[in-house]
Structure 1
Amino acid sequence: MSEWVAELGTFLVQTAIVIAMLVIGLLLVTRSRQAKERGLTLRVEPLNDQRLDRSRRLRLATALPSARKKLLKTFRQNEKKRLKVQKNDQQAPPASRVWVLDFYGDLKASQTEHFAQEISAIIDVASEEDEVVIRLESAGGLVHAYGLAAAQMDRLSAAGLITTVCIDKVAASGGYMMACTAQHIKAAPFAVIGSIGVVAQVPNIHRLLKKHDIDVELLTAGKYKRTLTVLGENTDEGKDKFLDDLENTHRLFKHYVTERRPTMDIDSLATGEIWYGSEALPQLLVDSVGTSEAYLTERMAQVQVYTVKLEAPKTMSRKLGLAVSAGVETAALKALGLIEAAGWQRR
């Protein structure tokens, strides 16, 4: 009898677990679909209000307990005055604004798709007096990927908007290609700038395979369809053609930079070398030295500043299986980026 009760209890527990898993699964699928339907969300945050709120909190936290009540009263009075001024300003012509975008680039410039949509959103509402500040951080990557990202930034200038790029850490290679599209480049004193060059690296294990009597047949239609391969035997003609392609890409890179920054001595600077921000200024690679935070603080004292960011919904698929896949891919890309950056980093 006791065994039968135990078996029945086990069966009921297992059944309850299965039902619970099914219910949870249905909820996850439902929420995932709802999130997908909502799509991307454009998040706009007023930096002026954030700065004012932080300032008030800090003043309140450091004030004497006896003075806090008076301080709160002052805050309320100032807020009423500010709202009154804003109400009066609504009847006046719209003042210029500053829009802030962030671009953190990996080897594939994966953020470009969202970045392009953020740019489109700003172009739709911005006036010619508005300024777009891009906080850029990238050590470069694939030529076609960064060519597209830079082309997206060119749209801002084509729309007649003032553009400023702020580099706090690094804008090298493809990252600098993006930076040079702006009318003004501001770099932190030790930000890494430049690396106007092209690099390619192809391992070849043909001799290893040959040593173990393994043949690889590479069939192509077109003389230069495969100039260098990983498994096949590379020829001097193929290597020469590959180098020609690199030189041609470098010429295009130099031409792109020269068109946007004609005062630079491109031949002496397009050697693949890097400079720190303070060194880059006399080379005319940048226009001023300073941090993005200092610049935005300065602009907030003059006009309204807004950050614009397109955010994807946190679907359950991302939280579960795809999150692992994305994590592995991101880690791999970061590792490759570190290897790539090792050529220009100074220790």
Structure 2
Amino acid sequence: MKRPWLVYGLAFIGGLVVFLILLSFFLSFLMFFKERDFGKPQIGVLQIKGVILDAEEYLMAINGMAKDRGIKAIVVRIDSPGGSVGASQEIFEELKKIRVKKPVVVSMGSVAASGGLYVALGGNKIFASPGTVTGSIGVVLEIPNIEKLLKKIGVETEAIKSGAYKDTGSIYRPLTPEEKDYLREKVKIIHDQFIKAISEERKIPIEKVKEFADGRIFTGEEALSLGLVDKLGNFWDAVNEAKKMAKITEAKLVFLPKKKGFLSKILEEKSSSILESFFLKPWYIAVN
């Protein structure tokens, strides 16, 4: 005996599922258009906050803004004390590529020091508030040594290596004099790269840069007098400058990278800390 009510019920449920899927796509489509505000020029805002350890997310955002025809200019908002050398250099170099196609204006927040300053050099123009903390032009390499701690609990380590410098930076023993000289050389090379970038991008003689590239910090006012920034102003001053350079009178701001949801942020931080505890090297060279 056939059960038409069962057939009708399944058909109803199937139709409802299809309807909800289509409704979801439709609402997403509407939200997409609402966010994009088609027809109105846009300014992409690249948000660089906290310690700079990984450049991947920022590079993806920069490339996305570069390819987007609706985005006429980019404002880079920096609130960072610095970070790893490689990541800072990657972002700096990527901004340099983009600024020949679209105006790139940097807005320094409370702190844009060391690696934050390195990134800022990639802009066409740099704004800072009078009290912004910037500068800190230097390189630091810190290596913990837990040899004495391990001895207290009766733990000894041995290293079998393929070369004299293969385990340089091991946290299980002090550095040898030769290793210290070796690492000082690397730190100097990176410091010279930083100094060269400042000299070339800010048009300051390299010998002049060396006079203040000793790790000291500067206020925004001091940075202006040294030639490290172009103007004193806040975020909106930088936005208005970007509009002027892009020859537009109004624009919608598009903030990237997108803010993560609370749960996503917690899960990401938790998984990141677990992975780092197993795989992250105990030291890295930082522009700090």
Q: Does the alignment reach a TM-score above 0.5?
A: yes
- Label 1:45 to 1:135 Cα distance change in 2 as closer, same or farther (>3 A): farther
Q: Distance in 2 between matches of 1:236 and 1:42?
A: 62
Conservation of the 8 A alpha-carbon contact between 2:79 and 2:116: yes
Match of 2:239 among 274, 285, 296: 296
Q: 1:104: how far off?
A: 2.4
- Three-state SS of the structure 2 residue aligned to 1:260 is helix
Q: 1:140: how far off?
A: 0.7
Conservation of the 8 A alpha-carbon contact between 1:169 and 1:190: yes
Is 1:240 matched up with 2:181?
yes
- Taking only the aligned residue pairs, the percentage that are identical comes to 26
Q: Distance in 2 between matches of 1:155 and 1:236?
A: 41
Q: TM-score, normalised by structure 2?
A: 0.70
| Equivalent residue runs for 1:111-150 within 5 Å | 112-126=55-69, 130-150=72-92
More helix by percentage: 1
Is 1:107 matched up with 2:51?
yes
| Equivalent residue runs for 1:1-347 within 5 Å | 44=35, 99-110=43-54, 112-126=55-69, 130-157=72-99, 159-263=100-204, 265-296=208-239, 303-310=249-256, 319=263, 323-328=265-270
Partner deviation per Cα, 1:113-146 (whole Å, 9 max, x = no partner): 333233223322449x943221222111111121
Conservation of the 8 A alpha-carbon contact between 1:299 and 1:305: no
Conservation of the 8 A alpha-carbon contact between 2:81 and 2:115: yes
Structure 2 alignment gaps of length 5 or more: 1-20, 275-287
Q: In the alignment, residue 293 of structure 1 is paired with which amino acid?
A: W
Q: Distance in 2 between matches of 1:153 and 1:181?
A: 5
Partner deviation per Cα, 1:199-226 (whole Å, 9 max, x = no partner): 1211112133335543210222122222
Conservation of the 8 A alpha-carbon contact between 2:46 and 2:62: no
Conservation of the 8 A alpha-carbon contact between 1:199 and 1:246: yes
Q: In the alignment, residue 229 of structure 2 is paired with which amino acid?
A: V
CA-based RMSD: 3.7
- Three-state SS of the structure 1 residue aligned to 2:45 is strand
Conservation of the 8 A alpha-carbon contact between 1:114 and 1:310: no
Conservation of the 8 A alpha-carbon contact between 2:105 and 2:241: no
Conservation of the 8 A alpha-carbon contact between 1:137 and 1:169: yes
Structure 1 alignment gaps of length 5 or more: 1-30, 47-85, 87-94, 333-343
- Label 1:191 to 1:311 Cα distance change in 2 as closer, same or farther (>3 A): closer
